[in-house]
Amino acid sequence: MDFIQNMYVQAGLLILATMILAKIVSTLLCSGSSKNLPPMVSAWPIIGGLMKFLKGPIVMLREEYPKLGNVFTIKLLIKNVTFLIGPEVSQHFFKATESDLSQQEVYQFNVPTFGPGVVFDVDYSVRQEQFRFFTESLRVSKLKSYVDQMILEAEGYFAKWGEEGVVDLKYELEHLIILTASRCLLGREVRDQLFEDVSSLFHDLDSGMLPISVVFPYLPIPAHHRRDKARKKLAEIFTKIIQGRKQSGNVESDMLQSFIDSKYKDGRPTTESEVTGLLIAALFAGQHTSSITSTWTGAYLLSHKKYLSSVLEEQKDVKKRHGDKLDHDVLAEMDVLYRCIKEALRLHPPLIVLLRSNHRDFTVTAKDGKDYVIPKGHVVATSPAFSNRLPHIFKNPDTYDPDRFAPGREEDKVAGAFSYISFGGGRHGCLGEPFAYLQIKAIWTHLLRNFELELISPFPEIDWNAMVVGVKDKVMVRYRRRPLSVD
Ligand code: HEM
């Protein structure tokens, strides 16, 4: 009996000691890490964070940033997402190596759209090589020939407008940009013979990228079925075009040709399937972003007479120097127009949140001087739409003021490289930025020189529900062809 009693006492003591030890260890561990963890958005357990996020990331940021500062975490179901807001804390976000902060996991949802064997479906070493192909296809020498085609497309498109009339500028610019992108990126065959087929297939691809696709890219829903069918059909079309070019020996100056001619470091040429995937990726990266930006630029210019006069003045000056000649180098001289586009893009970056997956703990010092550890396993996020309007970086941040970028002010530079992040920056900064500016400048140069324009609908609202955030409403504009060009 004594023996049994002893056994119970000993077992009891052992359990008690284990519990005390576990408590001490867990207390030590928790206090050790939580001491430095970023503040959490306070929300109901499990779905509270998600509910806040579903109101829209910018609404959430506007509520939480004043309370929690520029580094904080929100729990979205089981995933912690840590926001780093502003140039003071976003260095690591933009500069970290792929092994520390990667894109692959968070941008996986693009794989069924872009297709197999490209971009987020391949290891970083291969992706780096594919991004080298992008860089080569967007070199200045190539841009020069793309610009000639951009100008031709704009001339052809606006030649179809009458002497005067009313148009929805948003619709018009979307169409012109897809035509231009087809010409410069997808190539002559698509632009001249297959434009209708290819743009309707792209439409199905586009409509297959929904907010739900970010979490469940393979969910068996009709939009995903149409996306997959369209992707397959596009692969067939491009395979034929690529084979046709190879057999005929025809060489064109478009991105398609550049991708066909690209070679990996080991000498392997790109496959037809890779070329197709890279072209789709380029179109997805550049089409909506550019058409949205050209529409915002128009909406701001036509509602801010001061800046409209400045860009018209600049056109006169440029024409004095170059006459009607318009090419890459002439467009490059248009600094006023550049600043007007850049300011529209500061206020309305189409990619409102950028994401990375964290593979290694790192420390950031928040604006208030506190150090926080961002643990491995968190998703790390930053927001161009929110950061671009920080009042300690941009004076009167909600005001359209292109002169803020002019020499002497340069508000985009004073707080360092990552103050203005509409094109991202650092390791993964946008490779298409010069292409985008040239395209938007070519379009607006043509419009400014040839038409008097008047905005007749209210200033448009933002379409926060779109994957690439754009202009919600129609942008109705009355135009009248100028009797004489501006000079
Ligand atoms: C106004 C137009 C555009 C905007 C606002 C824009 C914005 C961006 C942003 C914010 C990123 C960084 C994404 C991240 O860090 O996660 C990015 C990356 C990229 N963009 Fe653009 N983009 C535009 C036009 C274009 C065009 C026209 C092209 C190509 C023709 C293009 C090709 C790319 C590529 C290839 C990357 C990936 C770079 C990398 O990860 O190394 N973009 N863009």
**For residue 175, what is the domain's CATH number?**
1.10.630.10
- Is residue 487 domain-resident? no
Cα 383 to ligand 1 centroid, rounded to whole Å: 14
Q: For ligand 1, is residue 277 a contact (CB within 6 Å)?
A: no
Whole-prediction pTM: 0.92
- Is residue 334 domain-resident? yes
Q: For ligand 1, is residue 131 a contact (CB within 6 Å)?
A: yes
Q: Average pLDDT for residues 314-322, to the nearest whole number? A: 98
Cα 424 to ligand 1 centroid, rounded to whole Å: 8
Q: Which residues, at least 6 apart from 221, have a Cβ–Cβ distance to it below 8 Å?
A: 212
Euclidean distance between CA atoms 116 and 132, whole angstroms: 18
Neighbour tally for 367: CB within 10 Å? 14
- Which residue, judged by its Cα, is nearest atom 19 of ligand 1? 430
Beta bridge partners of 321: none
Cα 389 to ligand 1 centroid, rounded to whole Å: 20
- Predicted local confidence at residue 46, as pLDDT: 87
- Same domain for 246 and 149: yes
- Same domain for 95 and 28: no
- Same domain for 464 and 332: yes
Q: For ligand 1, is residue 286 a contact (CB within 6 Å)?
A: yes
pLDDT per position as a tens digit, 401-427: 999 999 999 999 989 999 999 999 999
Q: For ligand 1, is residue 94 a contact (CB within 6 Å)?
A: no
Cα 187 to ligand 1 centroid, rounded to whole Å: 20
- Same domain for 388 and 304: yes
Asked whether the predicted pLDDT for residue 203 surpasses 60, the reply is yes
- Which residue, judged by its Cα, is nearest atom 43 of ligand 1? 430
Asked whether the predicted pLDDT for residue 350 surpasses 70, the reply is yes
Looking at the CA of residue 354, tell me the nearest atom of ligand 1.
16
- Predicted local confidence at residue 2, as pLDDT: 45
Domain range for residue 6?
1-32
- Same domain for 261 and 406: yes
Q: Which residues, at least 6 apart from 403, have a Cβ–Cβ distance to it below 8 Å?
A: 339, 409
- Give the tokens for residue 335: 């600094």
pLDDT per position as a tens digit, 6-59: 544 454 444 444 443 443 344 344 444 455 999 999 999 889 998 998 889 999
- Which residue, judged by its Cα, is nearest atom 9 of ligand 1? 423
Q: For ligand 1, is residue 423 a contact (CB within 6 Å)?
A: yes
What value does the mean pLDDT of the chain take? 92
Q: What is the largest CA-CA distance in the chain?
A: 114
- Same domain for 293 and 242: yes
Cα 436 to ligand 1 centroid, rounded to whole Å: 9
- Is residue 486 domain-resident? no
Domain total of the chain:
2
Looking at the CA of residue 349, tell me the nearest atom of ligand 1.
5
Q: Give residue 435's Cα distance to chain centre.
A: 14
Q: Average pLDDT for residues 101-127, to the nearest whole number? A: 97
Cα 131 to ligand 1 centroid, rounded to whole Å: 11
- Same domain for 2 and 117: no
Q: For ligand 1, is residue 450 a contact (CB within 6 Å)?
A: no
Cα 24 to ligand 1 centroid, rounded to whole Å: 49
- Same domain for 426 and 282: yes
Q: For ligand 1, is residue 435 a contact (CB within 6 Å)?
A: yes
- Which residue, judged by its Cα, is nearest atom 37 of ligand 1? 430
- Predicted local confidence at residue 484, as pLDDT: 64
SS3 letters across the chain: CHHHHHHHHHHHHHHHHHHHHHHHHHHHHHHHHHCCCCCECCCCCCCHHHHHHHCCHHHHHHHHHHHHCCEEEEEECCEEEEEECCCCCCHHHHHCCCCCEECCCCCHHHHHHHCCCCHHHCCHHHHHHHHHHHHHHCCHHHHHHHHHHHHHHHHHHHHCCCCEEEEEHHHHHHHHHHHHHHHHHHCHHHHHHHHHHHHHHHHHHHHCCCHHHHHCCCCCCHHHHHHHHHHHHHHHHHHHHHHHHHHHCCCCCCHHHHHHHCECCCCCECCHHHHHHHHHHHHHHHHHHHHHHHHHHHHHHHHCHHHHHHHHHHHHHHHHHHCCCCCHHHHHCCHHHHHHHHHHHHHCCCCCCEEEEECCCEEEECCCCCEEEECCCCEEEECHHHHCCCCCCCCCCCCCCHHHHCCCCCHHHHCCCCCCCCCCCHHHCCCCHHHHHHHHHHHHHHHHHHEEEEECCCCCCEECCCCCCEECCCCEEEEEECCCCCC
Looking at the CA of residue 185, tell me the nearest atom of ligand 1.
30
- Same domain for 146 and 2: no
Q: For ligand 1, is residue 284 a contact (CB within 6 Å)?
A: no
- Which residue, judged by its Cα, is nearest atom 13 of ligand 1? 424
- Which residue, judged by its Cα, is nearest atom 16 of ligand 1? 354
Q: For ligand 1, is residue 467 a contact (CB within 6 Å)?
A: no
Q: Average pLDDT for residues 155-183, to the nearest whole number? A: 96
- Same domain for 44 and 25: no
Asked whether the predicted pLDDT for residue 4 surpasses 90, the reply is no
- Which residue, judged by its Cα, is nearest atom 3 of ligand 1? 289
**Candidate from 30-44, 57-71, 151-165, 314-328 with smallest mean pLDDT:** 30-44
- Is residue 99 domain-resident? yes
Residue that is written with structure tokens 């006492």 in the block: 9
- Same domain for 248 and 108: yes
Q: How confident is the model at residue 92 (pLDDT cuts 50, 70, 90)?
A: very high
Q: For ligand 1, is residue 372 a contact (CB within 6 Å)?
A: no
Asked whether the predicted pLDDT for residue 486 surpasses 60, the reply is no
Long-range Cβ contacts of 75-78 (<8 Å, 24+ apart): 75/40, 75/41, 75/43, 75/48, 75/49, 76/49, 76/50, 77/46, 77/47, 77/49, 77/50
Q: How confident is the model at residue 242 (pLDDT cuts 50, 70, 90)?
A: very high
- Which residue, judged by its Cα, is nearest atom 31 of ligand 1? 432
- Same domain for 187 and 97: yes
Q: Average pLDDT for residues 436-459, to the nearest whole number? A: 98
Cα 323 to ligand 1 centroid, rounded to whole Å: 33
Q: Which of 430, 433, 438 to mutate to test the pocket of ligand 1 (most atoms within 8 A of CB)?
A: 430
- Predicted local confidence at residue 1, as pLDDT: 37
Cα 23 to ligand 1 centroid, rounded to whole Å: 49
The answer on whether 430 is annotated among ligand-binding residues is: yes
Cα 284 to ligand 1 centroid, rounded to whole Å: 9
Q: Give residue 43's Cα distance to chain centre.
A: 29
- Predicted local confidence at residue 278, as pLDDT: 97
- Predicted local confidence at residue 27, as pLDDT: 39
Cα 351 to ligand 1 centroid, rounded to whole Å: 9
Euclidean distance between CA atoms 457 and 295, whole angstroms: 13
